[in-house]
Amino acid sequence: MAKNKRSGFMTTFDQLQKGIRKNARSNDINSYLRSLTRDAISYLANNASIVDLTSKVTGKEYFSYSIDGTKSRAVNKLLYRDMEMAEIFLELLQSDEIRGNISSDDITSACYTITMSLACYIDITNKGDRQTPGTFFEYLITYMLTKHFKSDPSTRVRVDIGDDKVSLTMDLILSVDDDKTKYHIAVKNSTRERASEIWAHQRILDKAFGDNTYTGLFIGLCETKLDHKINEVTEICVPDQWRAYQQFLSALHTIYYVDVPRAYKNLNQKPPYIVVKQIGDFYYDVPQE
Which positions touch a copy of itself (CB under 8 A)?
159, 161-164, 166-169, 193-194, 196-197, 199-201, 203-204, 207-208, 240-241, 243-245, 247-249, 270-272
Distance, in Å, from the CA atom of 144 to the CA atom of 261, rounded to the nearest integer, reads 22
Specify the residue, 7 or 169, whose C-beta has the smaller distance to a copy of itself. 169
Determine the 3-state secondary structure of 212 from DSSP.
coil
Nearest to 216 by CA among 236, 246, 241: 246
Spatial CA neighbour of 22 closest among 146, 184, 182, 130: 146
Minimum CB distance to a copy of itself smaller for 204 or for 258: 204
The Cα–Cα gap between 61 and 68 comes to 23
- Return the number of the residue (164 or 178) whose C-beta is nearest a copy of itself: 164
Measured distance CA(147)–CA(149) in Å, rounded: 6
How far is the C-alpha of 112 from the C-alpha of 262, rounded, in Å?
16
Question: Position 13: which residue type?
Answer: F
Q: How far apart are CA 66 and CA 42, in angstroms?
A: 14
- Nearer Cβ to a copy of itself (46/269): 269
CB 63 within 8 Å of CB 77: yes
Q: How far apart are CA 225 and CA 234, in angstroms?
A: 5
CB of 207 vs a copy of itself, minimal distance in Å? 4
Closer to a copy of itself at the Cβ: 21 or 207? 207
Measured from the CB atom, the residue of 163 and 178 that comes closer to a copy of itself is 163
We find the least distance from the C-beta atom of residue 150 to a copy of itself, in angstroms, to be 30
Q: Give least dist CB 99 to a copy of itself, A.
A: 34
- CA dist 259 and 199 (Å) reads 21
Residue number with CB closer to a copy of itself (176 or 251): 251
CA dihedral 241, 284, 280, 256 (to 10 degrees): -10
Measured between alpha carbons, how far is 168 from 215 in angstroms, rounded to an integer? 17
Largest interatomic CA distance in the chain: 61
210/287 with CB nearer a copy of itself: 210
Among residues 79, 71, 83, the alpha carbon closest in space to that of 39 is found at 83
